[in-house]
């Protein structure tokens, strides 16, 4: 049963290190303002290192803030959605 490929648990793309990701283009989208940021895996590794987790890199790429502002510091900011091409 555990040898069945469907039984294997896979790590979500957001929780993987850049060196473990096979996709060439990485995308993170703000679920709030719908802004999409793309970076190639090679550029992300050059800028952040192969051991960096994609979630942290994606949050950094969206760090300049969401285009929708509420005026509340706790509520402002992007809500990342990590697009998995698989």
In this prediction, residue 7 carries a pLDDT of 58
What order of strands is seen across the sheet that includes strand 80-83? 36-40, 25-30, 80-83
pLDDT at 21: 94
Residue 55 CA to residue 67 CA, distance in Å, equals: 20
pTM beyond 0.75, yes or no: no
| Per-residue pLDDT at 51 | 96
Per-residue confidence (pLDDT) for residue 79, from 0 to 100: 78
C-alpha to C-alpha distances, 85 to 25, 47, 67, 74, 78, nearest whole angstrom: 9, 22, 25, 31, 21
Per-residue model confidence as pLDDT tens for the chain (86 residues):
556 666 556 788 899 999 999 999 999 998 888 888 899 999 999 999 999 999 999 988 887 666 666 666 566 677 788 876 55
Residues with Cβ within 8 Å of 70's Cβ and at least 6 positions away in sequence, in order, are 76
Residue 60, token pair as written in the block: 């950094």
């Amino acid at each position: 049963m555990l040898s069945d490929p469907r039984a294997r648990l896979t790590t979500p793309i957001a929780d993987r290190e850049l060196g473990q990701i096979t996709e060439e283009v990485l995308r993170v989208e703000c679920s709030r303002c719908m802004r999409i940021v793309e970076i190639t895996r090679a550029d992300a590794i050059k800028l952040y290192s192969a051991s960096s987790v994609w979630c942290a890199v994606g949050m950094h790429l969206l760090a300049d803030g969401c285009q929708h502002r509420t005026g509340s510091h706790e509520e402002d900011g992007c809500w990342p959605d990590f697009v998995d091409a698989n």
